[in-house]
Structure 1
Amino acid sequence: MASLHARARSVPVSVISRAVEKNFSSADGLLDRLPVGLSICNIDGTLVQYNQRAAALWGHAPSLGAAENRFCGAQKAYRLDGTPVEHDESPMALLLQTGVPQHDRELVIERADGTRITILANLDPLLDDDGNLVGGVSCFQDITERKRAEAEKTVLLRELAHRVNNTFAVIFAITQQSLRTAASPQAFAESFTGRLQALARAHNLLLARDWGGASLSELASTQLAVSCPEMNERVKLEGPLVMLSPAEVVGLGALLHELGANARKYGALSADTGKVDVTWKIRPNGSGEFIDINWVESGGPPVSPPSQRGLGSRLIERGLANAKVDWCFETDGLLCTIELKHERRNAGREDDSDAEVYVEPASSGTHPGH
C-alpha cells in the first residue's frame, strides 16, 4: 500500500489532467457516470442540463428549455401522503424563490409510463462570481425500496408489539387461574410451569414457520410428547394434513396440553395399559371447512364429570371462538370431540395479530369438564 501511495505522488499533475480529459471529454461525460440523478435549472426554472441517471429516474428524456419541464423533469410529483405537488411548490421552485437549500426532501414522482418511485432530493443554489443566485442544482436518488422496507418494518413492529402484549395477557390469565385452583405451592408451580411451557412450544412452532401457522399433526405431537414420553406406543395421531392459523395453534395447543396433562394425572395415561387416540378429519363448509377432532381415552380408570364449569367451555369461548367442544365421560375413559370451523389456508404467512387467546385450567383433582 505504501509503494502504491509513493507511486501516485510521483505522477505529474499534467498526466492526471490528460487522463481526466481522455476519460471525461465533457462535463456531460463526467455527470453521466454519477450513480445519482442530477439536474440544473437557471434562475427562472428552465431545465438546462441533466444526466442519464436523471432521465432514467424520470422515465424519459425531457427537452431542455421546454416550459412544461420547468423546475423538474418528472411528469408529476406528490408528497408522501399522496397530495400533489404543483410545479411552483417543488423543491427547485422554493430554492429559486428563496435561495435557501432544500435538503433531504422526500417526494414521489410519476414516471412517463405511469409508475411511481420515491426519491430523496438535495438541492443547492448556483451563484455567480458576485454571489448572485443564477440557478439551482438538484441531486436525487431512488429510495423506493428503502421506504418499502421501512413500511414493512413498521408493520412488523406493530404486529410484534400486539403479539407480545397478547402473550403477556395469556401469561397473566394462566397465573391467576393456576393460583385459584392450586391446592399447594408445589401444585401451583407444576401447573403454572406446564402451561407456560405449552405456550412456549406453540410459539416455537410459529416462529419456525415465520408465524405462518403450523400443522395439526406437529402441534399435537409437540404438546402431547411432554405428557406421554412413550408417545409412539400409547398415543395414536391420525388425520390429513391441516394447516392451522397462529391463533388456532395457540388456542388448540393449550387445549391439547390440558387434555394430555389431565390424562397423565387422572385419565388413561395414568394407567400402564391406558391409551389415547387423537384422530381428525375435514368436512367441507362452503368456502371453508370443519375440522372434526376426536380425543378418545381407553384402558384407564373411570372418570366422572367435574362439579364446576371449567376448561372446556371457557377455553373455547375465549381461545377458539370458531370451535365447539363436547365432553363425554365414558366408563372406559374420556371422549372429547372438537368441531373447529376453519378457513382453508396454505402454509404461508397469515396475519393473526388481532387474535386473542385465553386459557382456563381444569378444576383441581378432576378430569377436565365443560
Structure 2
Amino acid sequence: MSSSDVTSLPLSQVEREPTDSWLDIERLLDLFPGAFYICDHEGRIVRYNQGAADLWGRRPRLNDPSERFGGAVRLYRPDGSLLPHGQHPMAETLRTGAPVRNAEIVIERPDRTRILALVNINPLFNAAGAITGAINCFRDITEHRQQQEQVYNEALRSHELLSLLPAAIYMTDAQGRITFYNEAAANLWGCRPELGKSEFCGSWKLFWPDGTPLPHDECPMAMALKEKRPIRGLDAVAERPDGTRVPFLPYPTPLFDASGHLVGAVNVLVDMTERLHAEEAARRLALIVESSDDAIISTDLDGIVTSWNGGAERLYGYTAAEAIGRPVMILIPDDRPDEEPSILERIRRGERVDHYETVRRCKDGRLVDVSLTVSPIHDGAGRIIGASKIARNITDRRQAEEQQALLLREMNHRIKNLFALAIGIVSLSGRAAGAETVTDAIRERLAALARAHELTLHAAAGDGMRSTTLRALIEAILEPYREASAPGRLALDGTDLPIGGPALTGIALLMHEFATNAAKYGALSSPTGRITIRWALDGDRVTILWREHGGPPIQHPPAEEGFGSSLARSTVRQLGGALAREWSREGLVMRLSIPAERLGA
C-alpha cells in the first residue's frame, strides 16, 4: 500500500483498535522508504511510520494532545529563526484545508542535531467535506542541500579567478539573485548591484536591440533559469545610470548540482560596442565602394577575382556573378601577358602600385585606357592575402590629350603657313610698281587672310554663327591670293550651296591647306599659274574639283606625307568623304567628295 492509499482511508478506520490485518498494514508502512504521519482534525498524531520516527529522533505518543502537529522537539525556518508550534505547516493545513507543497523546514532532534526536511501535506476530508485530519509526507534533504552548497561554494572559490578575467561575468542563485560579479561586469553596467538582492542583471535598464524595453524577468538570464537551458543568440542593450547604452551579447548558462537540481546560473557578457562600430564602418565602406564610379575589385595572390563592385561592372561589362571566381587575366589584352604577374609579384613584396596607366579589355572586346592603383590586402595577422585594385577610366582624358596634341601641332603648322603666306603675299605684291602700291597690296591681302582665319575660328568655336554658303567660304579662304592685275588666276564655278556646323570647319581647313600648298609649291607660286575650283551636287553627294594650271612642272609625287596631308586625310575621314589626287605634269588635280547631308546647314 502506498501513502496515497493511506490518505484515502477514513480517519475512523485509521483510529480503530489494531487488528491483525491493520498490524500487517503498519508493518508494510514501516517498510515504506519515505517518512509520513497522520494527524486528526485537532492535530493529534494518530499514526506514523518508522521513517518519521527516524527523522524526528524519537517516537511521540499517539493521540497525546501535547504531541500536536508533529514529533519534532523544535522547528526552525530555513534562515534559522524559530518556528512557533502554532505556525507548523500541519497546523496551517488543518486550519485552512490548503495543501502544502515542497515547503522547507528545519527539524531539531532531542540530541540537538538538525536536519532540513522537505514537507508535503494533504488534508483528509469526510463524506460531508469536513476536515478530519491530514497526512504529512516529508523527507530529509540535508545532504542534498549540502551538495548544493558545495557546488555553490566551489563556484564562489572560483570568483577570484573570474575577477581577473577581462570578460564581464556574473552569477546568480536559482531564484536569479546576483551572488557574484567581476570588475568587468561592473564597468559594463556602470554600477555595482547589491549582492543577494538585485535580480537577473545588474544593469540599470535593459532594452532589445530595436530599443524596446526589456523587463529584467524576461531577460536571457531569467529565461535560462526558467527553462533550465543555455540561451544563445539574443542580443540586448544595457543602459547605465548616466544614460549611456552598451550593446552586449549574453551567454547565460544554468548550474546544476550532482543530483541535477538547479543551483544558479553564470552569465558571460560580451561588449559589442566596438564590433558594431566596426560593422557600421564596414557597411559604410561597402556602400562607398559599391557607389563609386571607379572600378574597384580584389583578387587573391593567384589573381582570382574575389570582389567586384558596380563601377567594375559598368566599366568592364562583366557582372559580379560572371567575374568573381575567374582569373583577372580576362581583363588583360593579349599583348600584355606579363603585366599582371609583375603587379602581383610587387604586391607579394608589400609594394603599392600608384596611378599606373595601362589598357584593359572589356567583355565586348573593347580596349579602354585606365589609371590603375593596386594595394596589398592584409588579414588580421598582418599577412598579405590579396590585392585591391582601383581602375579609373581615362579614355576621354587620353583622347582629349591626343586632340590637344593634334591642335598644338596644327597651330604650329598654321603659324608656319601664315609666315609662308605673308612671304608669298609680299613676293606677289612686290611685282607691282611703286612702294605705295606694294604696301597697299600687302595690307589688303593680310586683311583678307585675317577675315578668312576669323571665319574658320568662329566655325571651329561653334559660337552660334549663322550658316554661310560654300562659295562664300571658298572666296574668303582664297581672297589673300587674288591679284587685281591678274583677275583670272582664281576661277570659281558652282551652285550656291548652304554650309554650316562641322562641315564649315572641315572644308575651311581643306581649302586653306590646298591654297597654302599651291602658294608654296603649286600654281600660286608662279606668276602665270591659275586655279579652277568647281563644285556640284551629284545625287546625295557634293563633289569639289580643284585643278591647277601653269605652275612649276611636277616631276613626281611627294616621297613623304607631311603634316598638312595627314591633317587633310583626317579631316576628310571626319566628314565621311573621299579625296583623290592626280599628280599630272601640267598641275595637281584633286577631287573631294562628301555626303550632301554632312554640309550641316
What band does the TM-score fall into relative to the shorter chain? 0.5 to 0.7
Please name the residue that 2:440 is paired with.
190
Which residue pairs with 1:148 in the alignment? Answer: 399
Q: In the alignment, which of 4, 24, 31 is matched to residue 289 of structure 2?
A: 31
| Amino acid in the other structure paired with 1:148 | Q
Provide closer, same or farther for how the CA distance between residues 42 and 342 of structure 1 changes in structure 2, counting only shifts above 3 A. Answer: closer
1:343 maps to 592
Which residue of the partner structure matches residue 215 of structure 1? Answer: 470
Aligned residues: 263
Q: Which residue of 2 aligns with 1:332?
A: none
Give the TM-score normalised by the residue count of structure 1.
Answer: 0.53
Please tell me the residue identity of whatever aligns with 1:54: A
For residue 56 of structure 1, give the secondary structure of its aligned residue in structure 2: helix
1:168 and 2:426 correspond: no
Q: How far apart, in 2, do the equivalents of 1:193 and 1:178 lie? A: 10
In the alignment, is the contact (CA less than 8 A) between 1:283 and 1:292 conserved in 2?
no
Partner of 2:372: 121
Q: How far is the alpha carbon of 1:27 from its aligned partner?
A: 5.6
Matches within 5 A, 1:188-337: 188-210=438-460, 215-220=470-475, 240-241=495-496, 246-248=509-511, 282=536, 313-314=550-551
RMSD between superposed Cα atoms in Å: 5.2
Establish whether residue 48 from structure 1 lines up as the match of residue 300 from structure 2: no
Secondary structure of 2:593's partner? Answer: coil
- Which letter does structure 2 place at the counterpart of 1:195? R
**Cα drift, residue 26 of structure 1:** 7.3
Contact 1:121 1:139 in 2 (8 A): yes
- How big is the shift at 1:122? 0.6
| Match status 1:85 vs 2:322 | no
Amino acid at match of 1:343: L
Q: Which moved more, 1:25-34 or 1:112-121?
A: 25-34
Distance between the aligned counterparts of 1:22 and 1:283, measured in 2? 69
Alignment of 1:90-101 (within 5 A): 91=343, 93-101=344-352
CA distance in 2, matches of 1:157, 1:125: 41
Which SS does the other structure have where 1:85 is aligned? Answer: coil
What is the CA–CA distance in structure 2 between the aligned matches of 1:29 and 1:131, rounded to whole Å? 25
Judge conservation of contact 1:214–1:246 (CA < 8 Å) in 2: no
- The 3 A distance-change label for structure 1 pair 126 and 192 is same
| 3-state SS of paired residue (1:112) | coil
What TM-score, normalized to structure 2?
A: 0.35
3-state SS in 1 of match to 2:439: helix
Q: Is the 8 A contact 2:296 2:390 kept in 1?
A: yes
One-letter code of the match for 2:297? Answer: S
Secondary structure of the residue that 1:41 maps to in structure 2?
A: strand
- 2:469–2:496 CA contact under 8 A, matched in 1: no
Deviates more, 1:201-210 or 1:136-145: 201-210
Q: Which amino acid aligns with 1:123?
A: V
AA matched with 1:186: E
Q: CA deviation at 1:65?
A: 7.0
Q: Distance in 2 between matches of 1:346 and 1:64?
A: 44
Cα distance between partner residues in 2 of 1:290 and 1:64: 53
Alpha-carbon distance change, 340 to 13 in structure 1, aligned in 2, over 3 angstroms:
farther
What code does the residue aligned with 1:85 have? P
Which digits, 9 at most, give the CA deviation of each residue in 1:319-361, with x for residues without a partner? xx9899xxxxxxxxxxxxxx98642336859xxxxxxxxxxxx
- CA–CA separation in structure 2 for the residues paired with 1:144 and 1:94: 27
Q: Of the two, which has the highest radius of gyration? A: 2
Q: Percent identity?
A: 20
Query: Aligned residue for 2:362?
Result: 111
Contact 2:582/2:590 (8 A) holds in 1: yes
> Relative to 1, partners in 2 of residues 1:188 and 1:46: Cα closer, same or farther, differing over 3 Å?
same
Task: Note closer, same or farther for the CA distance 1:252–1:216 as it changes in structure 2 (3 Å cut).
Answer: farther
Which structure 2 residue ranges, 5 or more long, are not aligned?
1-243, 247-273, 463-467, 483-491, 500-506, 519-532, 555-580
Deviation at 1:103, TM superposition (A): 0.8
Structure 1 residue identity aligned to 2:291: R
Aligned mates of 1:96, 1:199 — CA distance in 2? 60
Q: Secondary structure at the match of 2:423?
A: helix
1:249 positional shift? 5.4
Aligned with 1:163: secondary structure? helix
Q: 3-state SS of the aligned residue for 1:32? A: helix
Cα distance in 2 between the residues matched to 1:346 and 1:100: 56
Q: 1:281 to 1:30 in 2, by over 3 A?
A: closer
Task: Flag the structure with more relative contact order, 1 or 2, with Cα contacts below 8 A and sequence separation at least 6.
Answer: 1
User: Partners of 1:28 and 1:168 in 2: how far apart?
Assistant: 60
Q: Distance in 2 between matches of 1:115 and 1:290?
A: 37
Unpaired runs of 5+ in structure 1? 1-11, 228-236, 256-278, 294-311, 325-338, 350-370
Instruction: Give the Å deviation of 1:86.
Output: 4.0
